[in-house]
Amino acid sequence: MVRRVYGLLVVLCIWASTAMGQSSGLVDEWPMGRVYLASGDSVSGKITYHRSEDLVRILKTDGSVVAYAPVAVRGFEAIDNEGRYRRVFVTQRWNFGNDYSDFLAPAFFEQIVIGNYGLLKRETMTRRDISRDPMYRNGYYRGGYYNPYGGYPMGGPMYVEQRLENFFVLLPNGKVKELRNVKKDLEMIYGKKSNVMKEYVRQNKLKYTSLPDLAKIVSYLGAISQPEVRTSSVDM
């Protein structure tokens, strides 16, 4: 029964994480969605999520636009064109990476796994020099021009912007733990269940660098850490 439950959780979270919205930089748009306010009300319409500013904007059916910060929102969901998949975002209090501060402020997190242990995600942007990548030097990169002889490009380094996925675990006590080193940090969270979890990862040949595998790992940890696991999304 436990295996069936965490399997269902993984399927649900993978559907949510692969639902595609139109994106540009750190701004994502979806044709429809709903924002659940801290007041108990909700607002529906076209969703625009400004990740850098942690702001969600709604274009309502009457043409008006409203924007909300995490402090005013319990969560929001974004739905694709055909209404088949949805991505769920929830508000959690977080120290924004400052482990030496007790100050917690609300922030948006994408909800990947629900359970006694939850898997959350935020995205940031970085610039990377791809001119030193082996595939670029060997002439396989065609983003700007083809370099059949490999080596470094004329004019110096080639920078591209890339999104980074940052993962977090929502602990049973409600605290958000950032996974800076995913494998090492999770193994510390395992605690007394370390042997069971490591054997589960080994037998199923799971990788900590794979989101579907990471979802299975966190789901299984939640499943063996309590008698029952919630199988529905957060009640908004």
Query: Of residues 9 and 102, which shows the higher confidence score?
Result: 102
Residue 48: pLDDT band by 50, 70, 90 thresholds? very high
CA 214 – CA 182 distance, rounded (Å): 9
Query: Of residues 170 and 140, which shows the higher confidence score?
Result: 170
59-95, pLDDT tens digit by residue?
Answer: 998 999 999 999 999 999 999 877 778 899 999 999 9
CA 85 – CA 80 distance, rounded (Å): 6
Residue 158: pLDDT band by 50, 70, 90 thresholds? confident
What residues have CB less than 8 Å from 31, skipping those under 6 apart? Answer: 46, 79, 80, 81
pTM of this structure: 0.75
Q: How much is the pLDDT for 142?
A: 47
Residue 25: pLDDT band by 50, 70, 90 thresholds? low
Instruction: Collapse the DSSP code of 190 into the 3-class scheme (helix H, G, I; strand E, B; otherwise coil) and give the result.
Output: helix
Residue 51 in contact with residue 28, Cβ under 8 Å?
yes
Q: How much is the pLDDT for 202?
A: 97
- For 45, 158, 197, the CA distances from 79, given in Å and listed in that order, are 10, 35, 34
Residue 186 in contact with residue 200, Cβ under 8 Å?
no
Tell me what percent of the residues of the chain surpass a pLDDT of 70: 72
What residues have CB less than 8 Å from 200, skipping those under 6 apart? Answer: 206, 217, 220
Q: Is the pLDDT of residue 184 over 90?
A: yes
Residue 118 in contact with residue 111, Cβ under 8 Å?
yes
Instruction: Collapse the DSSP code of 27 into the 3-class scheme (helix H, G, I; strand E, B; otherwise coil) and give the result.
Output: strand
Q: How much is the pLDDT for 84?
A: 76
94-142, pLDDT tens digit by residue?
Answer: 999 888 888 999 999 999 999 999 999 999 887 776 666 665 555 544 4
Average pLDDT for the chain = 81
212-229, pLDDT tens digit by residue?
Answer: 999 999 999 999 986 544
Residue 168: pLDDT band by 50, 70, 90 thresholds? very high
Instruction: Collapse the DSSP code of 142 into the 3-class scheme (helix H, G, I; strand E, B; otherwise coil) and give the result.
Output: coil
